[in-house]
Amino acid sequence: MAKVVVLGAGISGHTAVSYLSKSLKKDHEVVMISPNSNFQWVPSNIWVGVGLMTTDQVKFELAPVYKKMGVIHKQALAVAINPEGDLEHEKGFVTIKYVSKDKKDIEEKVTYDYLINATGPKLNFEATEGLGPQKFTESVCTYDHASHAWAKLEASLKKMEQGEPQTFLIGTGHPMATCQGAAFEYVLNIAFEINKRKLNHLADLWWITNEYELGDFGMGGAYVKRNGYITPTKIFTESILKEYGVKWIKQAGVKKVEKGVVHYETLDGKLDSKAFDFAMLIPGFSGVDMNAFDKQGNDITKIVFAANGMMKVDADYNLKPYEEWKAKDWPLIYQSSTYKNIYAAGIAFAPPHAMSKPMQSPNGTKIFPTPPRTGMPSGVIGKIVAQNIIHQIKTGKDDHPHQASMAKMGAACIVSAGYGFTKGQAAVMTVKPIVPDWETYPKWGRNIDDTVGVVGTAGHWMKLFMHYMFIYKAKAKPFWWLIPE
């Protein structure tokens, strides 16, 4: 009997454990370890952040779902991996910590035959002084953060209704933050709510980003087909922001936040600041604080994990100029570069290089987005990692018939603006591949027939439908596996 342990119940980890349980639960053991008691459909946190959904609409309790799946569920925090075991354990194991019913701190060692690290990112608010819901800015990275953001946003809207002007600042809160898409969607939803209340004359709405050009989104930008024309995402994004009355600050690395003011540095080395009444800034991401040790207890964290705390996998991590990186340098199977029975799925794997060109100010500050891996890519990666482990367990072979390079994989991003079947609309953008491949597609970097940008009500209907469809899938309802990632 094989034992597969999954760390993290986000989109990637939950997807992996769902497929594992479907194929292995009768004859093998599947274990989920996650500090969270709930699953959250992160893309819909945006709607919580503008009061259009409640937290209960974007989350559900994990324990009953895992009980139905036949998965052993441990609500705990993974703090260390011993891939070789130790003097007491022949197998590799994970050290976890949790609080018992009598409020005591408990430490446990969970052995495994296969391990999937799908812990996702650490929301590194601490990397920017004054950033985050506990300080001076809001976040929509979790449903609790989004709920807190709505309370603050609602207060600003009420002030406007009483005739008091408000300045809104939305974007990235660290010089190398990623997830611009979530912030971009949030600024459009705020604009929609302001317009719906006819308060535009009292609103000063700003987008602040570390992108060199708008529409970079951490992917180095793209060219999309739109209305029969080839349009760079720079024009696509700028036109949408102008339509919604949003001004912007680009090439900006936020260095510090104080009450009501953000201090930032631009790529030309200038230091500047922007006052605000309400700010939602996405933090930088890093790997969770997890260490690794060999059989003798020596610390091998720097061997297993990259400097950002994310796990090294089957990618090319050799240092070389940005222009020399190739699509083939990206991982195919997300297997640990050191231990063959360990995999990293979703945001937990370390990208080999940036998709956006690395930029640095004269002061030495790196200001550019790091690669996005959220949503659809995370789900696809979680699935193929699970499928390969299932294949190996059932056949006894050590090959990997399933692959999911982000340099071959496509992705769709739906950026909503508003809510409701008649009032909402969305910008829909598809790209393929996610990582630009200039060797295969020398003109555009991507397959232009599969890289499309459209704005309209239909895209909003699609996003609303996807909200309910993916929560249905995540709850393991009948025939859930027929719904694609």
- Specify the number of domains making up the chain: 1
Beta strand spans in 160-249 (E): 166-172, 203-208, 223-226, 229-232, 247-249
Residue 86, domain member (yes or no): yes
Residue 372, domain member (yes or no): yes
Q: How many CB atoms lie within 10 A of CB 449?
A: 9
Q: Residue 109 belongs to a domain with what CATH number? A: 3.50.50.100
Q: Tens of pLDDT along the chain (485 residues)?
A: 999 999 999 999 999 999 999 999 889 999 999 999 999 999 999 999 999 999 999 999 999 999 999 999 999 999 999 999 998 999 999 999 998 777 788 999 999 999 999 999 999 999 999 999 999 999 999 999 999 999 999 999 999 999 999 999 999 999 999 989 899 999 999 999 999 999 999 999 999 999 999 999 999 999 887 777 898 999 989 999 999 999 999 999 999 999 999 999 999 999 999 999 999 999 999 999 999 999 999 999 999 999 999 999 999 999 999 999 999 999 999 999 999 999 999 999 999 999 999 999 999 999 999 998 888 899 999 999 999 999 999 999 999 999 999 999 998 888 777 666 566 677 778 889 999 999 999 999 999 988 887 777 767 778 888 899 999 999 999 999 999 98
Structure tokens, 352: 């080999």
Residue 68, domain member (yes or no): yes
Note the pLDDT of residue 423: 66
Residue 320, domain member (yes or no): yes
Residue 18, domain member (yes or no): yes
Residue 350, domain member (yes or no): yes
Domain containing 296 equals 3-122+286-395
Look-up of token digits 């292995």: 24
Residue 83, domain member (yes or no): yes
Residue 188, domain member (yes or no): no
Q: How many CB atoms lie within 10 A of CB 289?
A: 13
Handedness of CA 475, 476, 478, 484 (dihedral sign): positive
DSSP 21: H
Dihedral class, residue 297 (left if φ above 0, else alpha if ψ from -120 to 50, else beta): left
Can you give 442-477 as a three-state secondary structure string?
Answer: CCCCCCCCCCEEEEEHHHHHHHHHHHHHHHHHHCCC
